[in-house]
Every structure is written in structure tokens, then in C-alpha cells.
Homo-oligomer: A and B are copies of this chain.
Amino acid sequence: LKQRIGIIGGGQLGKMMILAAKYLGFYVTVLDPDAACPAHSICDEQIVAPLDDVAANIELSNKSDILTYEFEDINADILEKLESEGAVVYPTPKSLKIIQNKYLQKYTLKQNGVPVPKLKKINSYDELADFCGENNNSAILKTSFGGYDGKGNAVIKSLSDARAAYDNFAKTSGEMFAEELVDFKTEISVLTCRGTDNRVAIYPIAENRHEDNILRETRVPARISKNAIRDAMAIAGRTIEVFEGVGMFCAEMFVTNEDKILVNEVAPRPHNSGHYTIEACACSQFEQHIRAISGLPLGETSMYGCAVMRNILGSPGYSGKPLVVGAELAMALPGVHLHVYGKSSTRPKRKMGHITVVNDDMDKTINIADQAAGLVKIISE
């Protein structure tokens, strides 16, 4: 049993990985530039430095038997070098490099038979205009690198949108690509995990609702057709094989009006839409990730009842040291579990915590989640 885990990133995902690792007795070092990051008080050691800092990555590797990360916009080159020198890094830097480049990520999936939206690399405004012309004068323009929670994406519904988006991206964003604007009926995500023994565990499919490109709600099990469930599970399994993953992967997908599945984005890590697994599944996505990267056998993904997860975002109009209000009211409702990440400051729409409701009836679960989410607010002191 390898004893020391190093995590690049000490946000809420890193924190929840550590909480799982600590039950199992691992020694955990975190690399994060914020000395007061959510993970800071529960790790054994923290290296306070930028996530892409070469010396800090080397130091983390020296203090760890296994390296992993909670965030994919990191320095894959140094991880590749450390791996070549004998470090164990999961998911592998090779997978990470492909996933970091969002165009290459989707192109690789497409080449391997995984259905994705139509996409095209864009080198000029004319290429974008042509792509839009072929797709009802619409598209999403995306940057290949960086961008999350909707940043680095532009929805195009006319040629004048296309012109504005292209000019804006050309100034700031480097490589870009266009995707067809998919008219979907449901957004889902499938969490999978692959062990070092190549076994794959797949969690019940989650149904997601975004607002302003930020995940607001996850409901599990997803209310989609049996065919869509079968296809989504098969596609998720194929996806983690394409990337030769070890550890948790999340594949976000669209279910189209014709009940087709298209993969929208892959994350090589535990995912916000999998937080429900902490209370609702036998083995959470965080314990599963720790098991996988440390060479332990995978745990069970079986689920108790239904679950609804609601993100708690910083309330509009409040910035600074966070204050939780309404927790005692929300927690009085049946099946409500509150998570407060412990970020040192709040700002509007920042992910500050979440609520998971577990119950045996989906309508009841949704109803309780609505009530609870209306009660808990993050304001500032």
C-alpha cells in the first residue's frame, strides 16, 4: 500500500479527496497558491506555490508516492517529465495532455468511435462563417485551452455573432474551434473510474442543469430512456478506455431530441456532478479515486434511493469573508446533507458549498432540495 499522496490543487475537490484519503490513513501533501485554500487545514503538508510552478511540482513529487490533481489546467509537461523519471501520476500526463486541448480531446474521441458534436478547427473568420453556414447559421466557438464554467465559450446564432466572437477570441485566446450548437433535451454526466487492474466502475447516470454555464443541480438517477441509459454507459466506458484512464473520469453528454448521445466534455478527475455519491453511493467518487490511484481495488457504485445535489453559490451582492445562514433550517429537512467548502472569501456565483438530499422518491427529493436551497445562503460577515 503506497502511503503518500500528492494533490495538485487544494480547492473543494482536493479537500473531498483528502477527507476520503484520511479515513484510509494516507499522508497527503497539497500544492496550492492559496495558504488558506479549502484543503489547507486537513492536509499533512501544503506547498504554497502556483499550480504550474516547476520546482513546486518536483517538491510535491519528492514528498509523494502517487501524484494526482483536482483541476486539469496545470503543467502537464513537468508531470510528464516526473513520470519519465519514475513518478506515478494518475490520470496519466498523456491522457491529461489530450484532455487539456479541448479540440484534440473531442477529435480523439471522434477518431475512436465516440459520438461527439460536429466540430472544426478554426483558423480564420471565413472558416467560422463557413461552419456556421453549414449549421443553420449557428455554432459554439471555443478556445482549445483553458476556459471553464462557460469562460472561453461563445454561442453564435448569426453571422454578426460569429464576427464578434471571432474577433474577440483572435485577440485573446489562441487556438480555437467551432462546434455545432446541439439542440438537446437533457444534459447528463457519467462518472467512471478505472483501476490499475483495468477494471472499470460506472456510477448511476446524473442529470444536470446549468445556469449561466455553472452547474446548479444534479438529479440521480437521470430520467432518460432505457436506450439512452444503455448508450451513455457504453460511451462512458469507451471514453475512459480511449484515454487509458486510471482514476475518476467524468463524461458530460447531451441527450438529443432524437435520443442520441453526444459527449460534450471530459474531465479526468472527480466532478461536481458526482458529489451526490458521498452520501448516496456505497463508495463515493472521492474514495473511488483514491482507491484507483493507489492501486486498491475499486469500490461499489450502488446507490441508495434518489439524490439531488444543489450547488450553493455566493449570494449576489456579498463579497469577503463568508458567513453561512439558514443551515439550521435546511438541515432540519429530511435527508439534507450540507457541505461548506471553507473558502476564505465569497463572491457572487462562486461555488461555496453544496447540498445533497437523499430520499426514496424523486419528487419528494426535488421538493426538499428546492426548499433547502432556498434556505441556505452564503453572505459575507
Of A133-141, A166-174, A259-267, A297-305, the segment with at least 4 beta carbons within 8 Å of chain B is: A297-305
> Chain B: which residue is nearest A299 at the CB level?
B331
**Cβ–Cβ < 8 Å partners of A332 in chain B:** 297
Interface residues of A in 256-308 (CB under 8 A from B): 279, 282-283, 291, 295-297, 299-300, 304
A335 at the interface (CB under 8 A from B): yes
> Chain B: which residue is nearest A341 at the CB level?
B25
Copies of this chain, tallied across the complex: 2
**Cβ–Cβ < 8 Å partners of A327 in chain B:** 1, 24, 296
Q: If the complex has contacts A1-B324, A297-B328, A334-B300, are A22 and B24 also in contact, measured as CB distance less than 8 A?
A: no
Q: How far is the CA of A42 from the CA of B23 in the complex (A)?
A: 11
A214 at the interface (CB under 8 A from B): no
**Cβ–Cβ < 8 Å partners of A27 in chain B:** 41
Is A340 a contact partner of B42 (Cβ separation < 8 A)? Answer: no
Q: How far is the CA of A341 from the CA of B328 in the complex (A)?
A: 31
A10 at the interface (CB under 8 A from B): no
A43 at the interface (CB under 8 A from B): yes
Residue of B1, B22, B324 near A25 (CB, 8 A) is B324
Shortest Cβ gap from A339 to chain B (Å): 5
The number of residues on chain A lying at the interface, defined by a beta carbon within 8 Å of a beta carbon of chain B, is 40
**Cβ–Cβ < 8 Å partners of A338 in chain B:** 23-24
> Chain B: which residue is nearest A40 at the CB level?
B44
**Cβ–Cβ < 8 Å partners of A324 in chain B:** 1, 25
Is B340 a contact partner of A300 (Cβ separation < 8 A)? Answer: no
Is A335 a contact partner of B42 (Cβ separation < 8 A)? Answer: no
Is A296 a contact partner of B340 (Cβ separation < 8 A)? Answer: no
A99 at the interface (CB under 8 A from B): no
Residue of B300, B328, B335, B341 near A300 (CB, 8 A) is B335
Is B328 a contact partner of A24 (Cβ separation < 8 A)? Answer: no
Q: How far is the CA of A339 from the CA of B325 in the complex (A)?
A: 33
**Cβ–Cβ < 8 Å partners of A18 in chain B:** 42
A358 at the interface (CB under 8 A from B): yes
A11 at the interface (CB under 8 A from B): no
Is B297 a contact partner of A23 (Cβ separation < 8 A)? Answer: no
Shortest Cβ gap from A201 to chain B (Å): 12
**Cβ–Cβ < 8 Å partners of A42 in chain B:** 18, 22, 41-42
Is B335 a contact partner of A24 (Cβ separation < 8 A)? Answer: no
Q: If the complex has contacts A41-B44, A335-B282, A358-B282, are A22 and B19 also in contact, measured as CB distance less than 8 A?
A: yes
Is A328 a contact partner of B295 (Cβ separation < 8 A)? Answer: yes
Is A342 a contact partner of B25 (Cβ separation < 8 A)? Answer: yes
A6 at the interface (CB under 8 A from B): no
Interface residues of A in 1-25 (CB under 8 A from B): 1, 15, 18-19, 22-25
> Chain B: which residue is nearest A336 at the CB level?
B299
Shortest Cβ gap from A344 to chain B (Å): 11
Report 20 cross-chain contacts, Cβ distance below 8 Å, ordered by A residue. Answer: A1-B324, A1-B328, A19-B22, A22-B42, A22-B342, A23-B337, A24-B338, A25-B324, A25-B340, A25-B342, A27-B41, A41-B44, A279-B282, A282-B358, A283-B337, A291-B331, A295-B328, A296-B331, A297-B332, A300-B335
**Other than the known A22-B42, A22-B342, what 20 A-B pairs have Cβ atoms closer than 8 Å?**
A1-B327, A1-B328, A18-B42, A19-B19, A19-B22, A22-B41, A23-B338, A24-B327, A25-B340, A25-B342, A25-B353, A41-B42, A41-B43, A42-B42, A282-B335, A283-B337, A291-B331, A296-B331, A297-B331, A299-B331
